[in-house]
């Protein structure tokens, strides 16, 4: 499994409102962080159901009430603070957390943490399947 070889600045806590999200790409992997109760919770942007990104629009990860993370594909719902899926096709599974370090409200993605597998590119896969058929 690949590991992150460097620490990367994410944002300052004050850059985000409560329940606001921010996205970041690292080595072709995408992660997001959401501010809740004056802290950030970060996960790799991979739905446990199909292994594809959760969101359909930039920085949009929450349900209408802005209390849960919601996958845009099939509606799975996840707690913001734990990443646990509580409803939908992957109920009982969890988002993969991203380890952050915080100094004076500045958040960093820490080095030496495992990187998830590179995401599926369904468009490229579909085009390759068409060429093979």
- Torsion angles phi and psi, residue 126, rounded to 5: -65, -40
Single out the segment in contact with ligand FES by CB under 6 A; choices: 19-27, 36-44, 45-53, 98-106. 45-53
* Of the residues 4, 16, 33, 47, which one makes contact with ligand FES according to CB under 6 A: 47
Cβ proximity to ligand FES: between 108 and 116 the closer is 116
Q: Does 74 bind ligand FES (CB under 6 A)?
A: yes
Q: State the minimum distance, in angstroms, from the CB of residue 3 to ligand FES.
A: 26
What is the DSSP annotation of 64-97? TTSSEEE-TTT--EEETTT-BEEESTTTT-BPPB
d(CA 105, CA 11) in angstroms, rounded, equals 8
Residues in the chain: 133
Range in contact with ligand FES (rule: CB under 6 A) among 21-29, 32-40, 46-54, 124-132: 46-54
H or E segment to which residue 33 belongs: strand 29-36
Nearer to ligand FES, 13 or 50 (CB): 50
- Residue of the chain from 4, 16, 33, 71 that contacts ligand FES (CB under 6 A): 71
Is 60 a binding residue for ligand FES by CB under 6 A? The answer is no
In this structure, what DSSP letter does residue 46 have? Answer: -
């Amino acid at each position: 499994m690949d590991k992150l070889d460097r620490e990367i600045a994410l944002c300052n806590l004050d850059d985000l409102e409560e329940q606001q999200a921010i996205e970041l790409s690292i080595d072709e992997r995408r992660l997001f962080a959401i501010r809740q109760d004056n802290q950030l919770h970060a996960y790799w942007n991979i739905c446990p159901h199909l292994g594809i990104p959760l969101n359909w629009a930039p920085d949009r990860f929450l349900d209408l009430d802005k209390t849960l993370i919601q996958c845009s594909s099939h509606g799975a719902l996840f707690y913001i603070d734990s990443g646990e899926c509580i409803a939908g096709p992957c109920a009982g599974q969890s988002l993969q957390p991203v380890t952050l370090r915080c100094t004076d409200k500045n958040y960093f993605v820490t080095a030496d943490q495992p990187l998830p597998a590179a995401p599926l590119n369904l468009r490229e896969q579909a085009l390759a399947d068409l060429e093979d058929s």
